[in-house]
Amino acid sequence: MGDGKQRIQPRTLKGFRDYLPAAAIPREWLISRACEVYRSYGFSPIDTPALEYEEVLAGKGGEESEKQMFRFEDAGGRRVAMRFDLTVPLARFVAQYAHELGTPFKRYHIGPVWRGEKPQKGRYREFLQCDFDTVGTRSAAADIESGLVIADLLGALGFERFTVRVNDRRVLAGLLETLDLVQHAPAVLRALDKLDKIGPEGMAAELEREAGVDGARSESVLELAAIEGAPGAVLERVGALIAGSETGAAGGEALARFVSAVEAAGAPAGAFRIQPSLARGLDYYTGIVFETILDELPSIGSVCGGGRYDDLAQRFTKTPLPGVGASLGVDRLLAAMEELGMIEGSTTPADVFLPWFSRERLDDYLALAARLRAAGLAVEFYPEPKKLGAQLKYADRRKHKLAVIVGDDEWEAGSCQVKDLESGEARTVRLAGDDRAGFGDDLAAALSEVVKGRRGASGRPRS
């Protein structure tokens, strides 16, 4: 090399990714919509460190999370670990600040988490979670509200066809009681959690291999896993399988109450489905559990899941701090939205492109841009007075939709050209009245109308 320096090849670690504007813009939009939904229910934002003491995280995420946890000794000789989700740190957080926060405490938290799992489409070793939780109450109302938040989240993001699978871990506990398999609960629940991936035969093989469950007991587990249909029919069949278990009966009653309540609250018809085999992989769930599947793209897996965890904070405090909540899979949702054609791929968040080609009019251009921004429009002003063609080529590469073109003749006439960069159509709009009164008002109104139409009411990202 000419300067004698050895260059480092720019590259990212396997399982990690950079976000270029075309990916970062819809990601930011998704997060903002999620925040709007969370805030509408009264959830408050918090944040916690990426690193925790290893003992805080260890032993609470299940066998898979234990294997996937990034852990090491820091420069001070402390054993630390990177959070694998936002729920276990929440347990530490509420235990530490319980007296200051009060209960019930409703929070949302958006931040990166790390798991050393095998990378695949829509799944990375570093990914963003977007959680909401209600801590400090065992009320069924909090469980029901969690389900409604999930449905509102998917609707706000523009999804019309999705299914929130619902179960109660007490139903599974009741089945294990009746089959005398309580001692094998972790292995049985892990097998159930893999049902979608390995199928009934694979699950039966895993039950026998990991828990020694075969014969009639294995058939009963598989029978539970196969139950589907309308909520009433599902609960009736589940009740027959767990007859005699008070724990299982309590879970069934909670599911019946949940279905009735979400319907009364106006949830989309068919959005919730009872799935008795649903276990969720993490060990800390104790009651209701959720998992959300996109009907048009089920292969991508769950895009929002969670449940009730009544015992999580007991490792940190004697004060009971039961909780319930869920996590929105941001990166997986974005991968789904891209595959479903819900993301346009623009590299700018600006509504309007403003070229600069009257060199002596810089102050006027800046004043116009400021007026449009004051009206709520995002405006990108080109920083060099180049030929119009070169600037519009730049705008096309950035996938701008609208341009406001003002040259010397337009400035003198008090007007401008609003050009649709997709269709090529243009129209003349007045810039100001006499003595520059109302400068930019007509233009701002015209642009706002067009931009509102482009953004639409579907809630899909205008990226």
Tokens found for residue 350 = 């600006």
Q: Tell me the domain boundaries of the chain.
A: 21-339, 352-455
The pLDDT, as a whole number, for residue 208 is 84
Per the CB < 8 A criterion, the answer to whether 276 and 238 are in contact is yes
Give the fold, CATH level 3, of 352-455.
Rossmann fold (3.40.50)
* CA dihedral sign, ordered 409, 413, 414, 416: negative
Least confident interval from 89-93, 178-182, 219-223, 459-463? 459-463
How many whole angstroms separate alpha carbon 361 and alpha carbon 93? 55
pLDDT tens per residue, range 365-406? 999 999 999 999 999 999 999 999 999 999 999 999 999 999
Distance CA 45, CA 21 (A): 25
- Calculate the average pLDDT of the chain: 88
- pLDDT given at position 1: 54
Which tokens in the block code for residue 214? 């075969």
pLDDT score recorded for residue 121 = 67
Mean pLDDT of 126-132: 92
* Average pLDDT rounded to a whole number, residues 325-348: 89
**Which value, to the nearest 10 degrees, does the dihedral of the CA atoms of residues 342, 348, 352, 355 take?**
-140
pLDDT at 442 over 90: no
Q: What is the average per-residue pLDDT within 434-460?
A: 66
- How confident is the model at residue 2, as a pLDDT? 63
End-to-end CA distance of the chain: 40
CA 309 to CA 284: how far, in whole Å?
6
pLDDT of residue 439: 76
Fold of 21-339: BirA Bifunctional Protein; domain 2 (3.30.930)
**Contact between 284 and 186 (Cβ < 8 Å):** no
3-state SS, residue 113: strand
Instruction: Count the neighbouring beta carbons within 10 Å of the beta carbon of residue 432.
Output: 17
Which is more confident, 324 or 66? Answer: 324
Q: What is the pTM of this model?
A: 0.86
Lowest mean pLDDT across 72-81, 135-144, 438-447: 438-447
Distance CA 69, CA 295 (A): 31
Q: DSSP string of 413-424?
A: HTEEEEEETTT-
Nearest partner of 33 among 163, 201, 177, 149, judged by Cα: 149
Spatial distance between the Cα atoms of 198 and 206, rounded to a whole number of angstroms: 9
Give yes or no for residue 163 having a pLDDT over 60. yes
Band the pLDDT of 459: cuts 50, 70, 90: very low
The tens digit of pLDDT for each residue in 175-231 reads: 989 888 888 888 888 888 788 788 888 888 888 888 788 778 888 888 888 898 999
Cα 80–chain centre separation: 27
Please give the angle made by the CA atoms of 45, 47 and 52, to the nearest 5 degrees: 150
What single-letter DSSP state applies at residue 186?
H
Alpha-carbon span 144 to 258, nearest angstrom: 6
Which range, of 44-58, 246-260, 434-448, averages the lowest pLDDT?
434-448
Residue in this structure with the two tokens 């799992």, named with its chain if needed: 117
Q: What share of the chain is helix, strand, coil (3-state, %, to 5)?
A: 45, 20, 35
With beta carbons less than 8 A apart as the criterion, state whether 348 and 398 touch: yes
> What local confidence, expressed as pLDDT, does residue 270 receive?
87
Q: How confident is the model at residue 46 (pLDDT cuts 50, 70, 90)?
A: very high
Q: Residue 153 has what pLDDT?
A: 96
Distance between CA atoms of 132 and 108, rounded to whole angstroms?
Answer: 4
Give the residue-averaged pLDDT of 83-93: 91
**Element housing 143 (H / E):** helix 140-156
- The 3-state DSSP class for residue 304 equals strand
Phi, psi of 52 (to 5 degrees): -130, 160
Cβ atoms within 10 Å of 179's Cβ, excluding its own = 20
Q: Contact 397/21 with Cβ under 8 angstroms?
A: no
| pLDDT of residue 62 exceeding 80 | no
Residue among 58, 37, 24, 60 nearest 326 (CA) = 37
Residues 234 and 375: their CA atoms lie apart, in Å, by: 54
Q: In the prediction, which pLDDT does 455 show?
A: 53
Tell me the pLDDT band of 111, cut-offs 50, 70 and 90.
Answer: very high
C-alpha 357/C-alpha 350 separation (Å) is: 19
Helix intervals (H) in 265-353: 330-339
Strand partners, 290: 166, 306
Provide the 8-state DSSP code for 319. S
Averaged pLDDT, 38-65: 87
pLDDT in tens, 6-35: 899 999 999 998 999 988 999 999 999 999
Question: 287: helix, coil or strand?
Answer: coil
Report which DSSP code applies to 85. S
Tens of pLDDT, residues 298-311: 988 899 999 998 88
Q: How far is residue 421 from each of residues 372, 392, 397, 400, 427, measured CA to CA in Å?
A: 18, 8, 11, 7, 12
From the number of C-beta atoms within 10 Å of its C-beta (0-12, 13-18, 19+), residue 428 rates as exposed
Q: Which residues contact 441 (CB under 8 A, 6 or more apart)?
A: 371, 375, 432
Say if residue 347's pLDDT is above 80: yes
Q: Which residue's entry shows tokens 């897996």?
A: 301
The identity of residue 151, as a single letter, is: A
3-state secondary structure (DSSP) of residue 447 = helix
Per the CB < 8 A criterion, the answer to whether 405 and 417 are in contact is yes
Tokens describing residue 299: 């292969």
